[in-house]
Amino acid sequence: MSHKTATLSSSATVRSPYRTELWPGLLLSCVIAAVAWQLGRWMPLVGGPVFGIVLGVVVRNTVAVPTACQPGIRFAGKKVLQWSIIALGFGLSLTQVAQTGLNSLSVTLITMTAAFVAAWLLGRVLGIPSKLKLLIGVGTAICGGSAIAAATPIVKADEHDTAFAISTIFLFNLIAVLVFPLLGHVMGMTDQGFGLWAGTAINDTSSVVAAGYSYSSHAGDYATIVKLTRATLIIPVCLALALIEAWRHKRSDGNSFSLARIFPWFILWFVVASAVRTAGWIPVSWHDGLHFIAEFLIIIALAGIGLSADIRRMASTGFRPIALGLGVWAAVAISSLLVQLASGQL
């Protein structure tokens, strides 16, 4: 009996610190999100999501955020973001999700091609090491830091290259959140046109969501679906990288590739949530409440991402990787606009 009690006590001491260590960072993210949400109500043209990430960046780079907050901040930026995407699924019909994903696929494939070609050409001109060049290309083409994290063990990039690539991608995520909605209004883009542009041309899911919903609710819904469709392409890209690396090393077991590890499972749950909505299993009276929950979770996640942004570290990345990231990002953004223009969607 005493041995069993001791065992239970021991396991409790193992589990409880993990749960409790999340609260400081989560609480800080929630406080910033509450302020951002209110500011977004006062200034809807900017929107709560943009205020969330901007306030997070300001706090991170002007106030000494306690180390104890870091686990909760990371949790908000990753897990809460995934929950917010799933919650958004409850507000979208499965037909809308499938139609939008298929309609955007051709634009996505063209912008991905533009990203890889630009990364290869500009990387050679700037003299960027091959692995860093590849990571920046993958991050810009697909889904930012998630794609970089998935590709890193396949190409066996070192921590220095990985950190450089993630910092470079994150820098342009922040810029996109601020610049894209403004440019969209200047160009007079429709909600659907802006959603397609943001979903295909902005690197990270969080920044796509922030830019999309700051433009309009419909643009945010459309951009999110386009982005999630784009994110699933991480699977064939990583499979191709694994095969190339195996061929280069002339052995099939040369890479630690795991489909389950790289698959973005939250996208599957997003589809499940959409199917539940389509089946009519959610009372209509719940729709507004679920939309509010999804919106607030997004702002919490973006506040956490902003709190993770170390501007000094980004600045120390150096000119060449930033120039490469800018060039690849510009290629993706411009190619997306050109495809829409050529197809009469813009």
Q: What is the span of the domain harbouring residue 136?
A: 93-286+310-342
Contact 243, 230 (CB under 8 A): no
Binned at pLDDT 50, 70 and 90, residue 286 comes out as confident
Output 52 or 16, whichever has higher pLDDT.
52
Number of domains in the chain: 1
What's residue 159's pLDDT?
64
* Residue 185 reports pLDDT greater than 50: yes
* Residue 252 reports pLDDT greater than 80: no
Contact 31, 73 (CB under 8 A): no
Of 324, 278, 273, 283, nearest to 120 by C-alpha is 324
pLDDT (mean) for 277-293: 86
- Torsional class of 256: left (φ above 0), alpha (ψ -120 to 50), beta (otherwise): beta
Residue 237 lies in a domain: yes
pLDDT (mean) for 276-285: 86
Percent of the chain topping pLDDT 70: 86
Measure the CA–CA gap between 197 and 212, rounded to whole angstroms: 9
Residue 166 lies in a domain: yes
Placement of tokens 């019909």 in the chain:
93
User: What is the model's pTM?
Assistant: 0.74
Output 39 or 162, whichever has higher pLDDT.
39
Measure the CA–CA gap between 340 and 346, rounded to whole angstroms: 5
pLDDT (mean) for 175-181: 90
Binned at pLDDT 50, 70 and 90, residue 250 comes out as low
Most confident by average pLDDT, 1-15, 17-31, 66-80? 66-80
Residue 168 lies in a domain: yes
Residue 140 lies in a domain: yes
What's residue 11's pLDDT?
42
Residue 133 lies in a domain: yes
Q: For the chain, what's the residue count?
A: 346
Of 29, 46, 136, nearest to 83 by C-alpha is 29
* Residue 140 reports pLDDT greater than 50: yes
pLDDT (mean) for 126-144: 85
Output 10 or 28, whichever has higher pLDDT.
28
What's residue 15's pLDDT?
44
Binned at pLDDT 50, 70 and 90, residue 268 comes out as confident
pLDDT (mean) for 252-281: 73
DSSP for 27-73 reads HHHHHHHHHHHHHHHH-TTT-HHHHHHHHHHHHHHHS---GGGHHHH
Helix axes 48-62, 23-42, angle to 10 degrees: 130
* Residue 117 reports pLDDT greater than 60: yes
pLDDT (mean) for 207-215: 89
Average pLDDT, the chain: 81
H helical segments located in 63-144: 70-75, 81-89, 94-126, 130-141
Placement of tokens 């998935």 in the chain:
150
Q: What is the pLDDT of residues 52-77, one digit of tens each?
A: 888 988 998 898 889 999 999 989 88
Binned at pLDDT 50, 70 and 90, residue 249 comes out as low
Percent of the chain topping pLDDT 90: 25
What's residue 193's pLDDT?
93
Residue 295 lies in a domain: no
Measure the CA–CA gap between 197 and 222, rounded to whole angstroms: 10
Contact 69, 24 (CB under 8 A): yes
Most confident by average pLDDT, 89-98, 113-122, 123-132? 113-122
Residue 134 lies in a domain: yes
Helix axes 159-186, 191-201, angle to 10 degrees: 170
Binned at pLDDT 50, 70 and 90, residue 99 comes out as confident
Residue 48 lies in a domain: no
* Residue 152 reports pLDDT greater than 60: yes
What's residue 263's pLDDT?
66
What's residue 257's pLDDT?
54
Output 288 or 261, whichever has higher pLDDT.
288
